Amino acid sequence: MAFNLIFLGPPGAGKGTLALRVKDMLHIPHISTGNIFREAITAKTPLGLKVKSIIDAGKLVDDDTTVALVKEYFAQSGMQAGYILDGFPRTIAQADALALFSTVTHAVNFDIEDTVVLERLGGRRVCRSCGFNWHASFNPPKQANVCDKCGGEVYTRDDDKPEAVQKRLLVYREQTAPLTAYYRAKGLLVDIDANGNVETILTHFKKALNL
């Protein structure tokens, strides 16, 4: 059976962190729209220049741009055996668009309190080269600001600044949280408790998907 997974949940819920583990476990591609946008910003491509101020302010990129980007990935080979879409869809319009070109098998919803989210985002440090998510307290790199995995520079995302985090949480509640009801109505929603350490969450995930 192909696992066509979407990861839903507030910013900082641990979607990207778990996606890396699930990707290795199931040998399926991990597509993070946030990572794609950040790479475009770093490379200063036309897409990057267009979305930088939107992302830094904690707002959503428009649906047309985001859907077109994801569609490009589905036009490439490698998606037939399954996938993890991390951070997409984020609006009902994006979910409707996705349904026209792929069939989701599980909408995995990361259930977590705002206080934990704020703790995770407050300490997040990201590698500019490989994109790995470190955490200043829970999982720091051995040498400050240097990625253990690839030697890249480790930095704090602009949208992890307190004002942007508040905006992202608000946008999540207004535009993305309604997707849980959307996928529940289709019988596809899988709630997982996203508190605790990564191993515990992976165990919840495997149990929920009968893996």
Residues forming contacts to ligand AP5 in the complex (CB under 6 A) are 9, 11-17, 32-34, 37, 54-55, 58-61, 66, 87-88, 90, 94, 120, 123-124, 133-135, 138-139, 159, 168, 197-198, 201
CB of 138 to ligand AP5, least distance (A): 4
d(CA 142, CA 52): 30
Task: Specify the residue, 1 or 71, whose C-beta has the smaller distance to ligand AP5.
Answer: 71
Integer-rounded Cα radius of gyration of the chain: 16
38 in active site = no
To the nearest whole angstrom, how small is the minimum distance from the Cβ of residue 202 to ligand AP5?
9
Nearer to ligand AP5 among residue 18 and residue 28 (C-beta): 18
Helix residue ranges, H only, the chain: 15-26, 33-42, 46-56, 63-75, 92-101, 114-123, 162-171, 178-185, 198-208
CB of 186 to ligand AP5, least distance (A): 19
Tokens standing for 201?
A: 């969450």
42 vs 197, beta carbon nearer ligand AP5? 197
Cβ neighbours for 116, distance < 8 A, ≥ 6 positions apart: 12, 194, 195
If the CB atoms of residues 1 and 97 are measured against ligand AP5, the closer one turns out to be 97
* Residue, CB closest to ligand AP5: 34
Per the listing, tokens 């720091």 go with 140
CB neighbour list of residue 169: distance below 8 Å, 6 or more residues apart: 10, 11, 114, 117
Residue 184 a catalytic site member: no
Question: Please, what is the minimum distance in Å from the beta carbon of residue 2 to ligand AP5?
Answer: 22
Grouping H, G, I as helix, E, B as strand and the rest as coil, residue 12 is: coil
> Which two three-digit tokens encode residue 187?
């019988």
Catalytic choice (50, 157, 161, 167): 157
The residue from 23, 38, 120, 124 that is catalytic is 124
Catalytic residues: 15, 90, 124, 157, 168
